[in-house]
Amino acid sequence: MRDKALRVLYGLLIAATLVYVALPSFVVVITAFSDKALLMFPPSGFSLKWFERAITYEDFRKGLANGLIVTAWASGIALVCGTLAAFAIERFEFSGKRVLESVLLSPLVIPHFTLGVAMLILASEFNIARTFSLVVVCHVILVLPFVMRAVYVSLKNIDPALERAAASLGASPLTVFLRIDLPLLAPGLAGGWLFAAILSFNEFTATLFVTGQRTQTLPVAMYTYVREYADPTMAALSSMLIAATVLFLVAANRWLGLERILSIEHAR
């Protein structure tokens, strides 16, 4: 009797959590189909015109393209740098190792706002134009810790005896890295890259400071839009982003195994 009551209570708690997490997305998606130029819930009629506007709105198109460019570069560079840094920190002893680690991980605790302002000040001080390079550099700094953490955890899960075994069989250190470490790191690398890409694509606070009219990414373009209009276009755009993310994650899960990427599965 008590067990049953507990189970019901437990079920309710889970349901409440789900509603709490999913409700905002739900409201946004419903609102997107509104027929009026007002953000209202529930909407008074059905239409797809806000989707049409979101798709055809020039700033969004450019923002999406810019965002994808920045994300591709930033997550790619962070993946390479983060992997090398994590490898050095995990496998070698050198002076200043702890300092290097702290500095590289510091963006986790420094507000993005601070970084954005700092980049802006530096850029104007040295007369650097607000180009893509500036945005990419800023994003690399922001997402590097996530890549490093992911690779670091995967590296820790690699048994050093595997490297030794390969060495005893005649593999040079470079071969060991390419043939043993890299394949075993692949899930960690994919996970790190996934986090970095999602983070970079959605980053707004710091990006706002370092982008110009020509380089603004999608979140910045959305912000600019909201300051001028209050119609359901934003809801429509958000709905599409939600759908895209879901598709992306389903695909990642299907082909790469999400639990492997997120390192939920046991190492062995």
Partner 1 sequence: MGETFSVSVEGVLKSFDGTPAVNDVSLKVRKGEFLTLLGPSGCGKTTLLNLIAGFLQPERGEIFIENELVTHTPPYLRSIGMVFQNYALFPHMTVAQNVAFGLKMRKVPAPKIAKRVADALEMVRLPHLGARTPRQLSGGQQQRVALARALVINPKVVLLDEPFSAIDKNLRAEMQVELKQIQKRVGITTLFVTHDQSEALSLSDRIAVMSHGRIEQLSEPAQLYRNPATSFVASFIGDINKLPCRLVSVSDAEAAFEFGGIQARLAASHAEGFSPGSEAVLYVRPEELTLLDAGDPAANFGAATVDTHVYQGTHVDVYVRYDDGRVLRARHPGFEAIERFPAGGRVGVSANLERAFLFPAS
Q: Which residues bind partner 1 (CB under 8 A)?
A: 159, 161-162, 164-173, 175, 179-180, 183-184, 268
Which among 200, 205, 223 has a CA at the least distance from the CA of 139?
A: 200
266 by Cβ neighbours in 10 Å (0-12 / 13-18 / 19+) ranks as exposed
CA distance 197 to 201: 6
**Smallest distance, partner 1 to C-beta of residue 213, A:** 48
128 or 171: CB nearest partner 1: 171
Residue closer to partner 1, measured from CB, 115 or 166 = 166
* Helix, strand, coil percentages for the chain (3-state, nearest 5): 80, 0, 20
C-beta closer to partner 1: residue 27 or 167:
167
Q: Measured between alpha carbons, how far is 186 from 247 in angstroms, rounded to an integer?
A: 22
For the bound state, the minimum distance from the C-beta of residue 71 to partner 1, rounded and expressed in Å, comes to 29
Distance of closest approach, residue 260 Cβ to partner 1, in angstroms: 12
| Cβ distance to partner 1 smaller for residue 17 or 172 | 172
* Minimum gap (Å) between residue 170 Cβ and partner 1: 4
**Which sign does the torsion angle of CA 50, 52, 57, 61 carry?**
positive
